[in-house]
Amino acid sequence: MNMHSMTVRGKDRYKSGVLEYKKMGYWEPDYEPKDTDIIALFRVTPQDGVDPIEASAAVAGESSTATWTVVWTDRLTAAEKYRAKCFRVDPVPNSPGQYFAYIAYDLDLFENGSIANLSASIIGNVFGFKPLKALRLEDMRLPVAYVKTFQGPATGIVVERERMDKFGRPLLGATVKPKLGLSGRNYGRVVYEALKGGLDFTKDDENINSQPFMHWRERFLYCMEAVNKAQAATGEIKGTYLNVTAGTMEDMYERAEFAKELGSIVIMIDLVIGYTAIQSMAKWARRNDMILHLHRAGHSTYTRQRSHGVSFRVIAKWMRLAGVDHIHAGTVVGKLEGDPATTRGYYDICREDHNPMRLEHGVFFDQHWASLNKLMPVASGGIHAGQMHQLLDHLGEDVILQFGGGTIGHPMGIQAGATANRVALEAMILARNEGRDYLHEGPEILAKAAETCTPLKSALEVWKNVTFNYESTDMPDYVPTPSVAT
Ligand SMILES: O=C(COP(=O)(O)O)[C@H](O)[C@H](O)COP(=O)(O)O
Ligand SMILES: [Mg+2]
């Protein structure tokens, strides 16, 4: 094969002629994916003049065995088997210049139980490939044989509810605010008031670790004192997600051990610690019967753009494999990006034993989760009591609703903020259980409950105009082949 054409420069530098991945075997339109193949769906935006099939074959090549030219040593391997195979390329409806490329990978390309290994192939080099303008990993079909090599959530939704002794309603939480600057004693006071007022959990913020104004041991000590006092005062089980995120694994283990010593039932980590660190902490959590909360800090840097990056649905799948018990998955109605249909897809990935293909929720593949536990989704970011009916409608019952500003910013104080949220939630659950149309009657149900709950009345009044609109990104009218859909 003559690869000298790779030296083409100037405006013609991306012409398809310079790419020979099709010829190298990375395009196989007749390929029928095996049950054991991993399938990735990419949204490919080729540079002008680049053939979409050649570009998609290049994605298959660069994310599996290929380099830019044929190498002699290919012949020393089972190259046929190890080459990823792009088997389908469809134009994305209503998105000129963008294509959905389906690529199948043999299971033997991957190490058991390692997100680091999976991601080093699938999102390793290929996102910087010059012949592409943009590339987005939209979804993945993970075969059961591969899923079974991961531990999954150690606690999961069912056991968490049993441990918390709370059933039939979403759980309630709050992120302590302000994000930074409180001393340990004042911080612990926020935790106590929020839990005493009616919340089930409080949470450290993503950037609270061990800063000069509050070292981690102080935080843990004051927080656990607050949890114990609130449990004694209310007779309910309470928790606070102690963020053990730190600069090294050794520091994280030390913090997690101390949280356990103090009797905490839950610890927290941030997505930015990396996949291997997350899997290590998940194994620690399983060994130590600890619920593991994951804050998705940093995800929007690569999940938000529609044409480039990695969809959060893929991250949610990877995190269910990795074995966290909680994951932030969006609110729809809050301050952070996320439309109802796509967010629903993320929640489906967390909570179902089997995801059927649901294009209307952006779920492109059937996905069996084998015996992996269900992952509790967390709705957090700019939500308040006045949205309770919408939250229940969009997100269902197996979810943690977290009101940071919506608790700690309450005009009557933190306990009152927590009470407002608890009363609003219970009013809505009762209405739902009575078969009422709680979504449409929501404002009326909340107003009625507020007649006997001044904190709720005050919350409804102060935040009555706080709404964040969302942009709908519902799936376009797109029909993939049944062979990859089922
Ligand atoms: O601190 C907060 C929310 O505070 P508040 O309730 O005061 O807005 C969380 O970090 C965000 O929820 C993260 O977003 P996401 O949950 O989407 O990852
Ligand atoms: Mg935060």
Q: 354-355 and 326-328 as β-strands: parallel, antiparallel, unpaired?
A: unpaired
Query: Do residues 354 and 406 touch, judged by C-beta distance below 8 A?
Result: no
Decide if 220 contacts 262 (C-beta within 8 A).
Answer: yes
The ligand 1 atom at the shortest distance from the C-alpha of residue 177 is 7
205 is in an annotated binding site: yes
Q: Which spans in 297-437 are helix H? A: 300-303, 312-322, 340-351, 388-395, 405-408, 414-433
pLDDT value of position 467: 83
Q: Using a CB cutoff of 8 Å and minimum separation of 24, what contacts does 337-344 make?
A: 337/300, 337/304, 337/470, 338/470, 339/470, 339/471, 339/472, 339/473, 339/474, 340/394, 340/470, 340/472, 341/472, 341/473, 341/474, 341/475, 342/313, 342/473, 342/474, 343/394, 343/395, 344/394
- Which of 85, 295, 326, 410 is the catalytic position? 295
Q: Which residues contact 27 (CB under 8 A, 6 or more apart)?
A: 21, 53, 54, 56, 57, 60, 85, 86
Instruction: Using the structure block, give the residue that is written with the tokens 């950037």.
Output: 207
Ligand 1 atom nearest to CA at 331 = 17
Q: What is the ipTM of this complex?
A: 0.94
How far is the centre of ligand 2, averaged over its atoms, from the C-alpha of 163 (Å)?
25
Q: Where are the domains of the chain?
A: 22-148, 157-464
pLDDT at 481: 56
DSSP state letters, 226-290:
HHHHHHHHHSS--EEEEE---SSHHHHHHHHHHHHHTT-SEEEEEGGG-HHHHHHHHHHHHHTT-
Long-range contacts of 225-231 (CB under 8 A, 24+ apart): 225/188, 225/192, 226/188, 226/189, 226/191, 226/192, 226/195, 226/202, 227/191, 227/195, 227/264, 228/263, 229/192, 229/196, 230/191, 230/192, 230/195, 230/196, 231/195
Instruction: State the residue for tokens 């060994």.
Output: 287
- The protein residue whose alpha carbon is closest to atom 11 in ligand 1 is 381
Candidate of 175, 180, 296, 378 to mutate for ligand 1, largest count of ligand atoms within 8 Å of Cβ: 175
| Span from the CA of 54 to the centroid of ligand 1 (angstroms) | 41
Give whole-number Cα distances, 304 to 167, 308, 319, 337, 460, in Å.
34, 8, 18, 8, 31
d(CA 374, CA 152): 8
The residue contributing the CA closest to ligand 1 atom 17 is 330
What is residue 477's predicted lDDT score, i.e. its pLDDT? 65
The answer to whether the beta carbons of residues 312 and 303 sit under 8 Å apart is: yes
Structure-block tokens of residue 197: 């007022």
Distance CA 355, CA 419 (A): 36
| The CATH number of domain 157-464, selected from 3.10.620.30, 3.30.360.10, 3.20.20.110, 3.30.379.10 | 3.20.20.110
Residues 133, 166, 177, 368: which is the catalytic one? Answer: 177
End-to-end CA distance of the chain: 38
Q: What is the pLDDT of residue 155?
A: 97
Question: Is 368 marked active-site?
Answer: no
- Are 343 and 292 contacting, i.e. CB atoms less than 8 angstroms apart? no
- Which ligand has its closest atom nearest to the C-alpha of 334? 1
Distances (CA, A) of 264 to 267, 283, 476: 7, 17, 45
Task: Name all residues whose Cβ lies below 6 A of ligand 1.
Answer: 175, 177, 205-206, 296, 328, 330, 335-336, 380-382, 402-406
Asked if residue 380 belongs to a known ligand binding site, the reply is yes
Mutate to test the pocket of ligand 1, among 380, 391, 403, 466 (most ligand atoms within 8 A of CB): 380
The number of helices, as runs of H, and strands, as runs of E, in the chain is 18, 15
CB-based contacts of 343, cutoff 8 Å, min separation 6? 329, 330, 331, 332, 394, 395
pLDDT by residue for the chain (486 residues), tens digit each?
344 344 445 555 566 656 889 999 999 999 999 999 999 999 999 999 999 999 999 999 999 998 888 889 988 999 999 999 999 999 998 899 999 999 999 999 999 999 999 999 999 999 999 999 999 999 999 999 999 999 999 999 999 999 999 999 999 999 999 999 999 999 999 999 999 999 999 999 999 999 999 999 999 999 999 999 999 999 999 999 999 999 999 999 999 999 999 999 999 999 999 999 999 999 999 999 999 999 999 999 999 999 999 999 999 999 999 999 999 999 999 998 888 999 999 999 999 999 999 998 999 999 999 999 999 999 999 999 999 999 999 999 999 999 999 999 999 999 999 999 999 999 999 999 999 999 999 999 999 999 999 999 999 999 998 888 776 665 556 777 544 433
Task: Supply the DSSP string of 345-379, one letter for each residue.
Answer: HHHHHHH-SEE--BGGGTB-S-EE-TTPPP-EEEE
β pairing state of 309-310 and 266-270 = unpaired
Q: Which 3 state secondary structure label does DSSP give 309?
A: strand
Q: What is the CA(219)–ligand 2 centre distance, in A? A: 16
Q: Does the annotation list 125 as a binding residue?
A: yes
Q: Which of 36, 46, 152 is nearest to 95 (CA)?
A: 46
Question: What atom in ligand 1 is closest to the CA of residue 295?
Answer: 18
Residue 348 Cα to ligand 2 middle (Å): 23
**CATH fold for the domain made of 22-148:** Alpha-Beta Plaits (3.30.70)
Q: What pTM was computed for the model?
A: 0.94
Closest C-alpha residue for ligand 1 atom 13 = 381
- Reference 97, options 60, 26, 43; nearest CA is 43
175 among the known binding-site residues?
Answer: yes
Which pair of tokens denotes residue 87? Answer: 């088997």
202 labeled part of a ligand binding site: no
Nearest CA to 58 out of 85, 39, 90 is that of 85
